[in-house]
Structure 1
Amino acid sequence: MGYYLAGFRVVGIDIHPQPRYPFKFHQADAMTYPLDGFDVIHASPPCQRYSSMQHIHKNKHKHPDLIDKTRKRLINNSKPFIIENVVGAPLRPDLLLCGTMFNLRIAKHRIFESNVSIFDLLPPCNHIDLYDPYHGGEMARGEREKLSKVIGIDWFMTRPEVREAIPPAYTEFIGKQLIKAMKNSA
Structure 2
Amino acid sequence: MPYPTDTRARTRPKPRLLDLFCCQGGAAKGYDDAGFDVTGVDTEPQPRYPFRFVRAEAVAFVLEHGAEFDVIHASPPCQHDSDCQRLQGNTHPDLIAPTRAALKATGRPWVLENVRGAVPKLVRPVMLCGPMFGVETYRHRYFETGGGLTLNQPHHRPHLVPQAKMGRPIPPGHYGQFVGNFSGVDLARRVMGVPWMNRDGIRECIPPAYTYHIGTQALALLAATGMGVAA
Q: Tell me if TM exceeds 0.5.
A: yes
1:23 is aligned with what amino acid?
A: F
Q: Does 1:29 align with 2:57?
A: yes
Match of 2:94 among 58, 65, 73: 65
Q: Is the 8 A contact 1:41 1:82 kept in 2?
A: yes
Q: Does 1:125 align with 2:157?
A: yes
Q: Does 1:144 align with 2:185?
A: yes
Q: Does 1:165 align with 2:205?
A: yes
Question: TM-score w.r.t. structure 1 length?
Answer: 0.90
Instruction: Provide the secondary structure at the position in 1 that maps to 2:41.
Output: strand
Q: Greater CA radius of gyration, 1 or 2?
A: 2
- Ranges of 4+ aligned residues in structure 1 off by more than 4 Å: none
Aligned length: 182
Counterpart residue number, 2:166? 134
Q: Kindly tell me: are residues 17 and 127 of structure 1, through their superposed partners in 2, closer, same or farther at Cα, counting changes over 3 Å?
A: same
Q: Is the 8 A contact 1:86 1:109 kept in 2?
A: yes
Counterpart residue number, 1:20? 48
Q: Does 1:2 align with 2:30?
A: yes
Q: RMSD of the TM alignment (CA)?
A: 1.8
Deviation at 1:121, TM superposition (A): 4.9
> Percent identity, aligned pairs only?
40
Q: Is the 8 A contact 1:96 1:110 kept in 2?
A: yes
CA offsets, 1:91-112, max 9 Å, x none? 1233110111112111110001
Comparing 47-56 with 21-30, which one deviates more in the overlay? 47-56
Match of 1:47 among 78, 94, 97: 78
Q: C-alpha separation between the residues in 1 aligned to 2:116 and 2:153?
A: 19
Gapped runs of 5+ residues in structure 2?
1-28, 169-178, 227-231
Q: Is the 8 A contact 1:12 1:24 kept in 2?
A: yes
1:150 is aligned with what amino acid?
A: V
Counterpart residue number, 2:15? none
Instruction: Provide the secondary structure at the position in 2 that maps to 1:173.
Output: helix
Instruction: Provide the secondary structure at the position in 2 that maps to 1:71.
Output: helix
